[in-house]
Amino acid sequence: MIATRTITHNKVRSILSIAGVAIAVISIVIIASLGSGLLAKGDRTFKQSTMHLWMTGKSVDLSSQYLGAGEASIDGAHELAKELRKDDRIALASPILTEIVYAFKRGEKPKQVFGIGIMGAVGTADTMVSVSAGNALTASPHYNAGRYDGNWTYEVLIDSRAAEMLNASIGDDIFVGKTLSEAEEKRFRITGITDSLSMFSSNPTIIFPLSELQDLTGNKYYDRVNMLIIRLHDPATADAVKETLEAQYPYEVSTNKEYLRKILMQNATILISATAIVALAVIMGMVLVITTMLLSLNEKKREIGILKVLGLSKGSLFTNTGLEGLIICGLGGIIGCLLSFPISRLLNYLIYRAVGFNDLVLLKAEFIYMGLLLAVVMGLVSTAVYVVGISRIQPMDLLRGT
């Protein structure tokens, strides 16, 4: 068959076209798998958190060197939590402060880690944190009736990633601060290991008593936190409690699904960029295949003209010369789908090594089918272009040499 002979004759051009199709297929399969994995991870994370409502400050438009655009906070966190716990439907109201801080052991290089401040005896049964090794944090007396003049406990919990990065274990002392100079003055004792909150951050994490992290990072002046997490006695009352709280307080209250949606919307730029990359890969693959078909058609013009003069029908001409695009796209689609499996495993390994999350690239059969369908569509489009080219060939002009 002329089509297969053309493919084998123009090896470099055919290989580039097949590679273009394969890259397009791999791109759409991997991006779809990553999106599915992120949604599954988010849903799993919120289900495992045992929390039902998330109270956050309303977004603001002000942007400065001190306050990033869209950032917001909750002030008066200790009193607010006390008020919320008066509601019989609420089992736990926990203010949460998150800050990037510097941490290091004496004589070692400082590292940036994710600091989380939680109120109460962190790691006991009535908090959202469980300790896998060592002891829980004792309730800090540092916050004292609206003032931050009580004693520091100078105790922290760390997750396994922070333990590895800082080369630290239970009983070790680490220096922590908002800046490097401040870190040299504040020494904390590691009392335990917990990975309970690791699902919420891709960074190594240190957990502090809330008031001590507030003081350490300058958030004590307004008793400021990023959010307040609420656990309900009955999860079925989430919508009713949300409505009550939003009517009573000037803050946004989200259920787990709403909060996940909010996180995705905040990362819309990344999602749009990923979609654009896939679209570009598909377009480039399509251009490569169509270019290959047009070049092939140009090389076979005289041959096709002679076949037309001999009386071959358009169907016969297409069967002999026009299947090149379908073959190229078919091969590219199969190769792309097969390569998606090792690539997804490699990406999962790299993501785990980088941020500690498992199985974020969730490859499913429907994504493979979607990749194959894309290859078929690309093949049909290139074939349609080729058929149009055949119909425009005038045998007599070719034979006259025009």
**Three-state secondary structure call for residue 156:** strand
Q: Could you tell me the residue range of the domain that residue 78 belongs to?
A: 59-249
Same-domain status, 209 and 279: no
Question: Total structural domains in the chain?
Answer: 2
Q: What is the pLDDT of residue 25?
A: 92
Same domain, 112 and 10: no
Residue 225 domain flag: yes
Two structure tokens written together for 194: 């917990």
**Residues 172 and 145 placed together within one structural domain of the fold:** yes
Q: Find how far residue 68's CA is from the centre of its chain.
A: 21
> Is residue 49 a part of any domain in this protein?
no
Q: What is the pLDDT of residues 256-288, one digit of tens each?
A: 777 777 766 666 666 677 778 888 888 888 888
> What per-residue confidence (pLDDT) applies to 60?
44
**One domain, residues 215 and 293:** no
Residue 34, phi then psi, degrees to nearest 5: -65, -40
pLDDT score, position 381: 86
| Statement: residue 31 has pLDDT above 70 | yes
Residues 38-78: pLDDT tens digits? 777 766 666 666 778 888 886 543 333 333 444 578 888 99
Q: Sign of the CA dihedral 234, 195, 43, 267?
A: positive
Average pLDDT of every residue of the chain: 80
Name the CA dihedral angle for 325, 326, 329, 335, rounded to a multiple of 10 degrees: -130
Maximum distance among all alpha carbons in the chain? Answer: 101
pLDDT digits (tens, 9 = 90+) for 344-363: 999 888 877 765 667 778 88
Answering whether pTM is above 0.85, one says no
CA 149 to mean position of chain CA atoms: 41
For residue 51, being part of any structural domain is answered with: no
Neighbours of 106 (CB within 10 A): 10
At which of 202, 219, 249 does a domain end? 249
SS3 content of the chain, % helix, strand, coil (to 5): 55, 15, 30
The answer to whether residues 103 and 212 belong to one domain is yes
In the structure encoding, which two tokens stand for residue 282, read together? 């598909």
Q: Is residue 375 part of a domain?
A: yes
Can you tell me which residue has the tokens 């007599």?
A: 396
pLDDT at 341: 93
316 domain residue, yes or no: yes
Cα(317)–Cα(387) distance, integer angstroms: 9
Q: What is the pLDDT of residue 380?
A: 85
Whether 37 and 75 map to the same domain: the answer is: no
317-336 tens-digit pLDDT: 666 555 777 888 889 999 99
Does 275 fall in a domain? yes
Shared domain check, 220 and 152: yes
Report the DSSP pairing between strands 90-104 and 111-118: antiparallel
Among 3-7, 114-118, 159-163, 381-385, which is the least confidently predicted range?
Answer: 3-7
More confident residue, 387 or 77: 77
Residues 283 and 341 in one domain: yes
3-state secondary structure 119-141: CCCCCCCCCCCCCCEECCCCCCC
Task: Please tell me whether residue 232 adopts helix, strand or coil conformation.
Answer: strand
Same domain, yes or no: 101 and 208? yes
What's the pLDDT score for residue 172?
Answer: 92
**Tally of CB atoms within 10 A around 273:** 10
Assigned domain for 264 exists? no
Highest mean pLDDT among 124-128, 194-198, 234-238, 298-302: 234-238
pLDDT band at 215 (very low <50, low <70, confident <90, very high): very high
Q: Does residue 122 share a domain with residue 9? A: no
pLDDT in tens, 179-200: 888 888 899 999 998 887 766 6
Residue 262, judged by CB atoms within 10 A of its CB (0-12, 13-18, 19+), counts as middle
Do 34 and 69 belong together in one domain?
no
Q: pLDDT band for position 151 (50/70/90)? A: very high
Determine the pLDDT at residue 69: 40
User: Are 374 and 25 a contacting pair, CB within 8 Å?
Assistant: yes
- Tell whether 187 is covered by a domain: yes
Angle at which helices 314-321 and 301-309 pack, to 10 degrees? 150
Is residue 25 located within the same domain as residue 90? no
Distance (Å, rounded) from C-alpha 221 to C-alpha 359? Answer: 41
